[in-house]
Amino acid sequence: MTQRTRSRSRPDPDGEEPLTAREAVALVREYITEMTEAEPARMTSAAPTDEGGWIIEVETVEDRRIPSSADILALYEVELDSNGEMLAYHRTRRYMRGQTGDGGGA
């Protein structure tokens, strides 16, 4: 399987294939680590935008505790443009590992 590389800082020339979900997720892993210094635990969703970009939700470990069931996790939403550049990110929820439901995070 061939894997093409994408430079985050170069503009997307006309005719190049659009940013794939896999590429978007890989970029978001880098961006979240750089911006929050938190370890990405898992991607929870990836949705294309009308403009050719992506909105990715990523869960991070914000505070490791003992036992690990007491870890503090956070859910971030990251928006990328069609070139893979980050347009915005924000934390949408903070909660303890194992907390269920969408109700009030910590």
Give the residue from 26, 41, 37, 44 showing the smallest Cα distance to 84: 26
pLDDT tens digits for range 49-98: 999 999 999 999 999 999 988 999 999 999 999 999 999 999 999 999 98
- 106, pLDDT greater than 90: no
Mean pLDDT of 14-23: 83
Question: What is the signed CA dihedral for 54, 55, 56, 62, rounded to 10 degrees?
Answer: 140
Domain spans of the chain? 21-92
> Mean pLDDT for the chain?
84
| Cα(34)–Cα(65) distance, integer angstroms | 22
Sheet holding 39-48, edge to edge: 39-48, 54-63, 72-80, 86-96
The answer to whether 43 and 28 have CB atoms below 8 angstroms apart is yes
